[in-house]
Amino acid sequence: MDRTAHILKMRREKNEMDEKKIIITEIILCHKFCAPAGWVSDEYKNSRKRHGLVYVLNGQALYQMSEAEKSFVAKEGDILYLSPDLSYVTRCNKKVPFVHLTVNFQLSDNNALSTLPTRMTPVNKQKIGQSFMHLVNEWTKRRRYYQVYSFSLLYELIGDFLNETDCVHDSYRKKLSPAIDYLEKHFCEPFPGKRLSEICGISETYFRRLFKKIYKESAEEYRTRLRVGKACDLLLSGMYSVGKISAECGYEDPAYFSRAFKKIMGKSPAQYKNEKM
């Protein structure tokens, strides 16, 4: 297996580990709500204790988070994911009612939707809006087997949101592609530091935050994964010692290389070689 195949395999395995099972255990609330102009809600000023999805139909509101830099204004067409750990106060526009659809629910794993952004403007607003409205109507009318249908519709809605998130991430991946290209060509060299953000044309702080958001690891961790991919190839060739492979992959200290390898592969270089050959 060549280096590229190893990298793809490791990324796939990492994604499988990161992807949590989304199991809905309860739908608590599902409705359309028209908050009057100037309305203020401090219901969640301490903590939500439940998952929530919100779709804004009209107006706007400030979601004033406990961490000021995370506060935002939700407006028409936005979809929000409000996790159980969030604390905030909602303040509606003083001139226009804030009309929105809301579903509050519980999951077996509170971290299962941790990859979702708190706020996003979906590409396919019409589809998201229709899915949300269908769910609210089904839950509100309380027809026979409404809970079964509502669970099914909520799963579909969550799936739509996850797909929308992937679409947004594609534009971010394009922004980060110069850094990815650089890392894949120079991963055995010393870490380039702020050069990565410079070639992407963004600030170093934003680069670090965006890279972590999209790839679920830092740029340095991404580089380590590339180095380990090459090390796997060299180990399986049977032509190099661990010390030589360490140097070839950019590590001056074989012991440090072995620790880095084991952290990613779950076994030492020698164990990996013995099992694969």
Neighbours of 70 (CB within 10 A): 13
| Residue 156: CATH number of its domain | 2.60.120.280
Regarding whether 113 and 202 lie in a shared domain, the answer is no
Could you read off the pLDDT of 118-170 as tens digits, one per residue?
998 887 888 889 999 999 999 999 999 999 999 999 999 999 888 887 766 67
Q: Poorest-confidence range of 76-85, 99-108, 172-181?
A: 172-181
127 is a domain residue? yes
Residue 235: is it exposed, middle or buried by C-beta count within 10 angstroms (0-12/13-18/19+)? buried
Q: Are residues 122 and 40 in the same domain?
A: yes
User: With 90 as the cut, is the pLDDT of residue 17 above it?
Assistant: no
Say if residue 260 is in the same domain as residue 136: no
The DSSP H or E segment spanning 57 is strand 51-58
Domain assignment present for 140: yes
Q: Does the residue 19 lie in any domain? A: no
Claim to verify: residue 81 and residue 178 sit in the same structural domain: no
| Residue 36 to residue 51: CA distance in whole angstroms | 24
Please tell me whether residues 31 and 74 are part of one structural domain: yes
CA–CA separation, 145 vs 115, rounded Å? 31
Backbone torsions φ then ψ of 89, nearest 5 degrees: -120, 135
Q: Based on the domain organization, do 243 and 201 belong to the same domain?
A: no
230 lies in some domain: yes
Q: Summarize the confidence of residues 173-187 as an average pLDDT.
A: 91
Domain total of the chain:
3
Q: Give every CB contact of residue 139 below 8 A, 6+ residues apart in sequence.
A: 27, 30, 31, 103, 146, 150
Same domain? For 31 and 110 the reply is yes
Residues 116 and 181 in one domain: no
Whether residue 15 lies inside any domain: the answer is no
| pLDDT for the residue 210 | 87
Q: Are residues 49 and 131 in the same domain?
A: yes
Q: Does residue 20 fall inside a structural domain?
A: no
Question: Is residue 102's pLDDT more than 60?
Answer: yes
| pTM of the complete model | 0.61
Q: By three-state DSSP, how is residue 191 classified? A: coil
Structure tokens belonging to residue 201: 């044309």
Three-state DSSP at 31 gives strand
Whether residue 77 sits in one domain with residue 34: yes
Place of tokens 């270089």: 269
Asked if 27 and 107 count as a contact pair (C-beta separation under 8 A), the reply is no
The token duo for 211 is 């890279």
110 lies in some domain: yes
The mean of the pLDDT values for the chain is 88
Judged against a pLDDT cut of 60, whether residue 8 lies above it is answered with no
**Residue 61 burial (C-beta neighbours within 10 Å; 0-12, 13-18, 19+):** buried
- Identify whether the C-beta of residue 99 lies closer than 8 Å to the C-beta of residue 57: yes
What's the domain range around 235?
221-276
Residue 11 lies in a domain: no
How far does the chain reach from its first CA to its final CA, in angstroms? 12
Domain check: are 107 and 189 in the same one?
no
Q: CATH number of the domain that 242 lies in?
A: 1.10.10.60
In this predicted model, what pLDDT tens digit does every residue of 217-253 receive, in sequence order? 899 999 999 999 999 989 988 888 999 999 999 999 9
My answer on whether 35 and 108 are in the same domain is yes
